[in-house]
Amino acid sequence: MNKYKVLLFDLDGTISDSKEGITKSVQYALKKLGIEEDDLNNLEPFIGPPLQESFRAFYSFTEERVNLAIEYYRERFKIKGMFENKLYPDIVELLHKLRTEGYILVVATSKPTEFAEKILLHFNISQYFNVIVGSNLDGTRINKTEIIEHILNQFNEFDKSCFLMIGDRKHDIIGARNTGIDSLGVTYGYGSHMELQQENATYIVHSVEEIKEILNRIGENDGFFCLSDKHSEEKTR
* Cα 228 to Cα 233: distance, rounded to the nearest angstrom: 9
* Cα 175 to Cα 230: distance, rounded to the nearest angstrom: 26
User: Within 13 Å, how many C-alpha atoms sit on residue 90's CB side?
Assistant: 9
Just list the catalytic residues.
10
What distances in angstroms separate CA 133 from CA 24, 79, 143, one per listed residue?
24, 21, 11
What distances in angstroms separate CA 199 from CA 51, 73, 119, 145, one per listed residue?
21, 29, 29, 14
Do the bridges between strand 86-87 and strand 16-17 make them parallel or antiparallel, or are there none, so unpaired? antiparallel
Under 8 Å between Cβ of 16 and 123: yes
Instruction: Say how many C-beta atoms besides its own lie within 10 A of residue 157's C-beta.
Output: 11
Under 8 Å between Cβ of 3 and 225: yes
